[in-house]
Amino acid sequence: MLADLDTPCLVLDAVRMRSNIARLKGRLAPLGVALRPHLKTPKCIEMARELMATPQGPATVSTLKEAEQFAAAGVRDILYAVCIAPNKLERASALRAKGVGLMLVVDSIEAARAVANHARAKGDAIPVLIEIDSDGHRSGVQPGDPVLVELGRTLQAGGTVLRGVMTHVGASYDSRGTSALEAIAEQERAAAVRSAEVLRAGGFPCPIVSVGSTPTTHFAKRLDGVTEVRAGVFVFFDLVQAGIGICTANDIALPVLATVIGHQKDKGWILTDGGWMAMSRDRGTAKQAIDWGYGMVCDVAGRPYQDFMMIDASQEDGILALREGSKASLPDLRVGSQVRVLSNHACATGAQHDRYHVVDGGPAVVAEWPRFGGW
């Protein structure tokens, strides 16, 4: 039971989680593209099995630690969706030597040469995707840049296999409203497809055209020319996603359970045992129209209180209070009461914990799923 758990701890609402997964898969089906779920958010074998099309994949990861953990559980089709550092090539090869179909990513001639030289030395036709910068937000080659063909030649000369292009439009998180989200989704799609066309015109196959972010995946009106989408945080959602308009608070599946430990009645504060070590330091909603501090506070059953939030936090203490100017009443939460706190950023909050306490629509904990961290 939730009442028996040591707090603070991470709770996973399986009903909401499965609803979120079904929603995304249902949206992608008529668009004719596959889902390559990003497993960096859950970092959990049990949840990977809920997300992937088969026990072998496909899957996306952001660290080699993730690739190793999921490979050990039988996942074979894995995209390591971060430009590869040369010092990680031996570790990547060790996975491939075990039969894991690990694909790597590059966005520079220097990285392409490093992968090509390593592939030649190992006698391993490493599959590689080229990252495209579709929004000026991160790394990647400019869409349609002629250097794409040079990258293809460099990779091919070393005996690697150019598998295609991938991009992630992180700027989607700054978009607001349906029109803006649809536009950034089309920008992402067009950048990837244009780059694939340049490679094909240069004589290079480009079977994979991979795009993805949770906002664009939910708002893309068409995905012509795209073969797969990658998204991850959709499985949980969070307050930043709610602020963008992708979900509501009632869709968020990953609260932190905390216990009331005291009051400062003259200040209108309720204190809990869940501070920023439990919630993370992420303050993503501070840039949005509604700032939720360190989190939105709900009752133990997951029903949000009106205007009640974690306004501040120290390492192990959370300070709960009503939003400034609110006409709502402070909840009657005595010492020992439990609350659920919805986080700003599910990935960052999840990283603070080593397991999920799974509930299935009620107060009973029906499973405990381990999660891992590190690189």
pLDDT tens per residue across span 134-165: 888 788 999 989 999 999 999 999 889 999 99
Q: How far is CA 163 from CA 127, 204, 206, 212, 330, in A?
A: 6, 9, 6, 17, 57
- The H-or-E segment that residue 186 falls in is helix 178-201
Specify the CATH number of the domain 32-223: 3.20.20.10
Question: Could you tell me how far CA 119 lies from the centroid of its own chain?
Answer: 30
pLDDT digits (tens, 9 = 90+) for 269-289: 999 999 999 999 999 999 999
Specify the CATH number of the domain 3-7+248-370: 2.40.37.20
Average pLDDT over the chain reads 95
Q: Are 231 and 212 in contact (CB under 8 A)?
A: yes
- 342 sits in the region (left: phi over 0; alpha: psi -120 to 50; else beta) called beta
Q: Which 3 state secondary structure label does DSSP give 147?
A: helix
Q: Are 58 and 77 in contact (CB under 8 A)?
A: yes
Judged on CB neighbours under 10 Å (0-12, 13-18, 19+), 312 is middle
CATH 3.20.20.10 in the chain, residue ranges: 32-223
This prediction's pTM: 0.93
pLDDT > 90? residue 118:
yes
Percent of the chain with pLDDT over 70: 100
CATH 2.40.37.20 in the chain, residue ranges: 3-7+248-370
